Amino acid sequence: MAAEAGRSGDFGDIKSLLLSELQEQLRNLGEPSYRAGQIVDWLYKKRVDTLDKMTNLPRPLRSRLSEKFSLGKIDIVRVLGARDTTRKFLFRLADGNLIESVLIPATPALYGGRADRRTICVSTQVGCAYGCKFCASGLEGFSRNLSANEIVDQLIAVERATGEKIDNIVFMGMGEPLANLENVLRAIRIINAEWGLGIGARHITISTSGLAPQIRKLAEEPLQIRLAVSLHGATDEVRNRIMPINRRYNIETLLSACDYYNSHKKQRLTFEYILISDVNDSDEQARLLSRHAHRLSAKVNLIPYNSVSGLPWTRPSEKRQEKFLSILRAEGIPATLRREKGHDIDAACGQLRLQTERAELTKS
Ligand code: SAH
Ligand code: SF4
């Protein structure tokens, strides 16, 4: 829009740029490219919140940068949970939309974790368009994709608020990461880079409800990140009942995309499988799930369903959960049954819900 050209921040948020892009921008401004290194140092190591605080840059450069780029931040509206337990952070984005991240004190072993590590579960969209029948995030539909800087800022804001270093990141908050693949990959490059947040690719996991074409695209990415596939049903009949995406990409289409992924990656993938009473928790489903896991050499993470108010589903008894697990194990599948984290504060997976400012204000 020509009328708006020249307005501050027209080139977008500076935290959405990769180092190489920043170097190019600086060359275009007639500046030496080492300035880009200084800028990312201010952004990701010293973590200043205004361009003007980058005091080793010449003042005229700082003001030219401020004309071109914005440097946004996300504000914490509320934190739920105690210091030594799972904490849920509610953020307000620059446009007023609300999103959430969850900080989990110990990292689940399946995602490369250790008990003394901290995992953050980040959102990738405001809402979600995929409408899985069991999930809170899709209840109110989809608003918009998050930009790369809004994803990176979730980590920065949580580290700033807690003073704790995050070691592990899972893309399992609100939204479908593979439906926002470009921005998610951009954010991952920044999170992974030495000049950025420096978190190793093996400590980064993307979870998808099964967007088969995007799984193939991800397979072709050189980054050795982990992939978790939300299967939740071992037959089309069960999956169709709870996941509308299965009507677009059925199990065979999904599994063959996973085969393709495997042929490109060293890391084994994980199947996530929520156990929902009388929906997908039969012995037969467990046996078929084992077959799929064998085919993909996949690990299985069983998640007892977390109740969502307004939705009819319940979790199976512990006895049933254990039986389901034992069938997988008897078939030689590496499987775990997830222990509860954050259930009481609605911070468990699938309990992150699109919130409106008004709903928040009435609560507080
Ligand atoms: N959209 C992506 C990532 C976000 S959901 C996906 O679907 O994979 C992250 C995980 O939480 C998924 O495995 C999802 O199926 C699961 N989940 C959703 N609702 C849940 C609920 N009520 N209880 C337990 N897990 C849930
Ligand atoms: Fe969206 Fe994932 Fe929830 Fe399905 S489970 S509605 S894809 S966030």
- Which of 307, 302, 306 has its CA nearest to residue 338? 302
Distance 134 CA to ligand 2 centre (A): 9
Quote the pLDDT of residue 135. 92
Q: What is the DSSP letter of 3?
A: G
Q: Pocket residues for ligand 1 (CB within 6 Å)?
A: 134-135, 172, 176, 207-209, 230, 232, 272, 274, 303, 305-306, 308, 349-351
**Gap between the Cα atoms of 244 and 262, Å rounded:** 25
Given a cut of 70, the residues of the chain with pLDDT beneath it are: 1-10, 107-116, 339-364
Point out the ligand nearest to the CA of residue 307: 1
**How many whole angstroms from its chain centre is CA 240?**
24
Q: What's the CA-to-centroid distance between 136 and ligand 2, angstroms?
A: 8
CATH class of this structure's domain 18-68: mainly alpha
Amino acid 84: pLDDT: 73
What is the per-residue pLDDT for 341? 55
252: Cβ–Cβ under 8 A, 6 or more apart, which residues? none
Sign of CA dihedral 161, 164, 168, 172: negative
* Tokens encoding 44: 């990701």
In sequence order, what E strands does 54-151 have?
75-80, 87-92, 98-104, 119-121, 125-127, 142-145
d(CA 171, CA 105): 16
pLDDT of residue 363: 38
Distance 235 CA to ligand 2 centre (A): 19
pTM for this predicted structure: 0.91
CATH architecture for residues 75-363: Alpha-Beta Barrel (3.20)
Site to probe by mutation for ligand 2, drawn from 133, 137, 143 as the one with most ligand atoms within 8 Å of Cβ, is: 137
Q: Where are the alpha helices (DSSP H) in the chain?
A: 19-28, 34-40, 59-68, 148-162, 181-192, 212-219, 236-242, 245-248, 251-264, 283-296, 318-330, 357-363
Q: pLDDT for 197-253, tens place per residue?
A: 999 999 999 999 999 999 999 999 999 999 999 999 999 999 999 999 999 999 999
Cβ of 130 less than 6 Å from ligand 2: yes
- Per-residue pLDDT at 110: 52
Q: Whose CA is nearest to atom 5 of ligand 1?
A: 172
Evaluate: CB of 132 within 6 angstroms of ligand 2. yes
Distance from the alpha carbon of residue 350 to the mean position of ligand 2, in angstroms? 7
| Ligand located closest to 349 CA | 1
Q: Is 349 a catalytic residue?
A: yes
Distance CA 298, CA 255 (A): 11
Structure tokens at 236: 């089309």
Q: Write down the residue that tokens 């170097």 correspond to.
A: 23
Sign of the alpha-carbon dihedral angle for 122, 128, 130, 136: positive
Q: Which sequence spans correspond to the domains of the chain?
A: 18-68, 75-363
What integer pLDDT is reported at residue 83 of this predicted model? 73
For residue 53, report the distance from its CA to the centre of ligand 1, in Å.
40
Return the pLDDT at 347. 57
